[in-house]
Amino acid sequence: MSHNLEIIQLTTPRLEIFPLKENQIRTYLEHPAALEIELGYPISRDILDTNVRRALRIKLIRMVDTPVEDHRWLTYWLIKIKAETFGAGLIGFKGVPDQNGWTEIGYGIDPAYWNQGYMTEAAGVMVKWALTQPECTKVTANETKNPASYRVLQKIGFTLVSENENGTTWHKPA
């Protein structure tokens, strides 16, 4: 299977999901309008909150020291809504699968697109893709008391494995 970010793209009936290259993440952080010009369509600014900006910066730092073939596990993937030709959200993994083959997923979508099934669709295809990669045996998710995210994880087959005052931990094995 190819690891070239230029040719990886996941599709569903309503979405196209593709990994952002290192320079595209930098552009999204510094000049979102320039990334829109490069892609040829608008992308959400509403998801670029403080937490997402911090995560993007961390991803950039980690990508510099990681072989390009592993960037697919570090970058954010853009969630494009086909019908509107709009980049509405980001989804990705928090690192290369560890020695046990586990990686953690994280995601977010523009509030205007909440409760329409887009994140369930995106997370479902991303997890399916991850679990077809030979180095990945389990996808995990850590959630901080977000009922909508709970529903996404339940709908795509994750199992709740622990819960405490800080949130919940979910697993989906291959």
Residue 135 above 70 pLDDT? yes
At 126, which amino acid appears? M
DSSP string computed for 93-145? ESSS--TTSEEEEEEEE-GGGTTSSHHHHHHHHHHHHHHHSTT-SEEEEEE-S
Tokens 């960037």, residue located: 71
Tell me what pLDDT residue 6 has.
Answer: 63
Residue 89 predicted with pLDDT over 50: yes
pLDDT on residue 33: 97
CA distance 50 to 72: 23
pTM score: 0.94
Helix (H) or strand (E) holding 34: helix 32-39
Percent of the chain residues past pLDDT 70, beyond the cut: 97
Nearest residue to 113 (alpha-carbon basis) of 15, 13, 11 = 15
Q: What is the pLDDT of residues 12-68, one digit of tens each?
A: 999 999 999 999 999 999 999 999 999 999 999 999 999 999 999 999 999 999 999
Fold for 10-173, please state it.
Aminopeptidase (3.40.630)
Query: Taking the domains of the chain in order of start, what are their residue ranges?
Result: 10-173
**4 pLDDT above the threshold of 80:** no
What mean pLDDT is predicted for residues 135-154? 92
Supply the DSSP symbol for 75. Answer: S
